[in-house]
Amino acid sequence: MSSAKTGDPANTVEDEGYILVPRPTDSRQRNRDCSRQDGADQAYLACIDQFVETQKDVLWPLNLFLHQNPELAFQEHKAHKALTEFLWSAENEWTVTPSAYGMETAWVAVYDSGRAGPTVSFNVEMDALPNLAHACGHNLIATASLAAGLATAEVIRRHKLAGKVVLFGTPGEEGYRGGKIRLLEKGAYDGVDISLLSHPGILHNSALVRTAAFARVSVEFFGQAAHAAKAPWKGINALDALVVSYNAVSMLRQQTMPGDVISLAITNGGGEATQLIHEYAACACVIRAASASRLDDLEQKVGASFRAGAQATGARVEISVTRGYKDHIPNRVLAASYAHCWNALPGVPDPPMPPVTPGHQHFTWILSSTDQGDLSYAMPSVNASFAIPPGPGGGQPHSADFERASGTREAFDRALRVGKALAGTAVDVLSRQGLLATAKRQWQEDMSQEGQRRLLPPNEGLSEL
């Protein structure tokens, strides 16, 4: 009996003791393979796989350049230049708009088949973290999305599919009012049917990623200064108002939901003088919740705690809320396509991806937030998580250890696999009749009040990255 072994790096086949090594595939052979129509879905994925493999040697230097040149939010000038120039020189003809929609480092690239059909999109993140460089792996996110966009355009060209693919260069994800929100508000996503993205970590391979909604609450208390020994009754102690509020928030935590997070810091304690009744004090609070609607409820409860502190002491309070990001709601139809593509590609890595089938839809809950969440409220979205080999210390995102891990060749290879699965999802939408309509029906259901209730997390809480 003969045996066969496939999927190793050399793509060798063992037969009756002989090792057969296939000749390197040239472009004509790739075209023949990609044109097979026996099982169209698998033929498309094979085409994507083969095409991305041909792009490794040009994508690796670009990935390395992004990693070695970290730039902060909305200052991604080197990344903007490198990515737009790369697309201008790409084999398929892309229409590239630099400094798009009034943002210096935003850009848009479009490949249009010229035939009416769905518009699929990928977001290319670029920014790094203060003092931690690419400890969030945005170089890998950019690489995965870029590979996905190029491969999708190639399949459109070879198989004469209808529709278009759009790459959005989205600056400033780290912080508040990220680039995706600004692009959304300016109409950049008008006419776009789906939005696809990914994010690296070390724990999960998952297509069904839920993230937290968050906001920042800034609070100022205004009192009346007085001498603490001579006439304290003439004063109104703003610091006392803050302390009462701080304790009220601490007691509130006992009755919050598993997905609620309240982080509070005193930013101004009234100064160093001890002989005065403090006339001013301030604090800042970041709140997170499992959904945007729950965040609104939590904001009201936290605000009531601050107002209670002011009322108890006679101080005046000013509360300002900076909206952060909405929670991400993954589209289960698109997620099922992504999971299928991920598992159909050779050499499936650990950890296993949770199944995405009717009755088996296990969400991966993550405490962090992303402006992709706001897009998921505007259109069907996937924000797939993928695990890269960890650094020596096993550090998770936003650590120096993860910054080192995100610059390795192994992490790059994993990002390319993600790009292939994202492209497979996009091509499914472009080629499978009715799939986009099904995804949009799922999105509409998820956006309903009942749908939001069903998407709340289980009582056991949330996962880390």
Provide the token pair at 435.
């799939």
Residue 235 DSSP SS3: coil
Alpha-carbon span 228 to 333, nearest angstrom: 65
Alpha-carbon span 458 to 465, nearest angstrom: 17
Among 206, 204, 184, 205, smallest CA distance to 195 is for 184
CATH superfamily for domain 41-206+327-454: Zn peptidases (3.40.630.10)
User: Binning pLDDT at 50, 70 and 90, where does residue 449 land?
Assistant: confident
User: Binning pLDDT at 50, 70 and 90, where does residue 12 land?
Assistant: very low
Segment 42-60 shows an average pLDDT of 96
Provide the token pair at 112.
């249009």
426-441 pLDDT, tens digit per residue, is 999 999 999 999 999 9
Alpha-carbon span 328 to 336, nearest angstrom: 16
Segment 9-28 shows an average pLDDT of 32
| Mean pLDDT score of the chain | 90
Segment 251-266 shows an average pLDDT of 95
Go through the chain and tell me how many residues it has: 465
Residue 84 DSSP SS3: helix
Residue 304 has pLDDT above 60, yes or no: yes
φ/ψ of 352, rounded to 5, equals -60, 150
For the chain, which residues make up each domain, given as ranges?
A: 41-206+327-454, 213-323
Provide the token pair at 378.
């505007």
What lies within 8 Å, CB to CB, of 439 at 6+ separation is: 194, 331, 333, 334, 380, 429
User: What residues are paired with 166 via a beta bridge?
Assistant: 110, 121
Q: CA torsion sign, 216 to 222 to 228 to 233?
A: negative
Q: Are 203 and 463 in contact (CB under 8 A)?
A: yes
Q: Are 191 and 379 in contact (CB under 8 A)?
A: no
132-188 pLDDT, tens digit per residue, is 999 999 999 999 999 999 999 999 999 999 999 999 999 999 988 999 999 999 999
Which pLDDT does position 452 carry in this prediction? 72
Residue 368 has pLDDT above 90, yes or no: yes
Domain 213-323 fold is Alpha-Beta Plaits (3.30.70)
Which pLDDT does position 42 carry in this prediction? 87
